[in-house]
Amino acid sequence: MTLYFLDFVLFAIGIYALVAKRHIVKKILGVAIMEYSVNLFLILIGFKKAGVAPILTKDMDLVTFIKTAVDPLPQALVLTSIVIGLGTLALMVSIAIRLYERYGTFDMHEINRLRG
Amino acid sequence: METIIILHIILVFMIIGSLITVEIRNMLSAVISVGAVGFALSLAFLFLDAPDIAITQVIVEILSLVILIRATIKVDNVAIEKREHILSDRTALIFVGMILVFAWFAFQSLPTFGEPSMRVSQYYLMNGLREVGATNFVTSVILDYRAYDTLGEAMVLFTSISGAFVILRRWKKEQDKDFLRIDREH
């Protein structure tokens, strides 16, 4: 239970960076931290005490493997989510670079003031 | 039991690293410390019996560090000096605290840590070897049972990368302008 809570504290730090900071790159880092926390949360839910990784080896029979293996489904979905996170990060960073070229600053309020 | 203590230590390290990321003035240091958080996350995956994800996380973390450093290294990485109005910082803190309190109540309804409810995964574990033939069950879920999900992932990745290329492409007019500026400077 405390592990879940610590993980959610990480999520809250990401939300704080996204909402309260003015620097665009800091907002992007906040999104990245939130993504870490969500991935870790899904893996924490699928964890089994004294479990083994969901890979069948030769010296293990199927019955004990089914009883002890951790949940493979969240692991497969998180694998997808990590790679998608890289794509969205690249998109966000390219938008930030374009904004900097156009306005000469990373400050969100300054960009809002200069627009139009 | 030891695993859980190690996981607590790693999570506290990640929280400290992300606090440094949020509050430090120099942007390059912020990017480096978010990289530290990502590598600690990979270590946590390794302790949670998820080796595939740990490897992927390391690779993705290196790539995203390269991208983020590209965003910060060429520009002035001076922090923005002017403070936000003090009220808005505090309002954000209050709302984040409220989210934490409600989350604490929501955690009571989750399955206890270490005893997952494996209703769907039980089927995969029992029949995966016979139906797919892969000994790595994560691979059998990705590439056989939920292959459409992986197809969608490839599509999202392609879309976002091509979007980044379109945004970063230099248009012809801008190039002409750049040449003009260089001519004027010389």
What is the C-alpha to C-alpha distance for residues A111 and A103, in angstroms, rounded to an integer? 7
Q: What is the dihedral of CA A12, B45, B13, A107, to 10 degrees?
A: -50
B98 at A interface, C-beta within 8 A: no
Using pLDDT thresholds of 50, 70 and 90, give the confidence band for residue B19.
very high
Q: Over the stretch A18-32, which tens digit does the pLDDT of each residue have? A: 988 888 889 999 999
- In chain B, the number of structural domains is 2
Q: pLDDT at position B47, please?
A: 92
- 8 Å CB contact between A37 and B10: no
Give residue A96's domain range: 2-115
Binary contact (B138, A30; C-beta < 8 A): no
Is residue B14 scored above 90 in pLDDT? yes
Which of B48, B54, B104, B46 has its CA nearest to residue A11? B104
Mark which of B79, B107, B139 sits at the end of a domain: B79
Q: pLDDT at position B57, please?
A: 94
Strand partners, B136: A55
B107 at A interface, C-beta within 8 A: yes
Q: Is residue B45 part of a domain?
A: yes
> Residue A68: its chain B contacts at CB < 8 A?
none
Mark which of B79, B96, B129 sits at the end of a domain: B79
Q: Over the stretch B80-126, which tens digit does the pLDDT of each residue have? A: 656 656 677 888 889 889 989 998 888 888 888 888 888 888 888 88
- 8 Å CB contact between B52 and B136: yes
CA distance B138 to chain A (A): 5
- 8 Å CB contact between B78 and A107: no
Q: Is residue B64 part of a domain?
A: yes
Interface test with B, best of A15, A24, A25 (most B CBs within 10 A): A25
Q: Over the stretch A48-80, which tens digit does the pLDDT of each residue have? A: 888 888 888 888 888 888 888 889 999 999 999
Mark which of B59, B79, B99 sits at the end of a domain: B79
Using pLDDT thresholds of 50, 70 and 90, give the confidence band for residue B132.
confident
* Judgement on whether residues B72 and B127 belong to the same structural domain of the protein: no
- For residues B135-150, give the mean pLDDT: 90
Q: Over the stretch B160-185, which tens digit does the pLDDT of each residue have? A: 999 999 998 877 666 555 555 555 55
Q: Is residue B100 part of a domain?
A: no
CA distance B172 to chain A (A): 16
Which of B60, B29, B57, B59 has its CA nearest to residue B43? B57
Give residue B51's domain range: 1-79
pLDDT > 90 fraction of chain A, expressed in percent and rounded? 47
- For residues B116-137, give the mean pLDDT: 86
Q: What is the CATH number of the domain that holds A14?
A: 1.10.287.3510
Q: Is residue B17 part of a domain?
A: yes
pLDDT > 70 fraction of chain B, expressed in percent and rounded? 85
Prediction pTM value: 0.88
* Judgement on whether residues B135 and B62 belong to the same structural domain of the protein: no
Q: Is residue B115 part of a domain?
A: no
What is the C-alpha to C-alpha distance for residues A103 and B130, in angstroms, rounded to an integer? 59
- 8 Å CB contact between B167 and A94: yes
pLDDT > 70 fraction of chain A, expressed in percent and rounded? 99
Q: How is residue A86 written in tokens? A: 């890289």
* Judgement on whether residues B75 and B124 belong to the same structural domain of the protein: no
- In chain A, the number of structural domains is 1
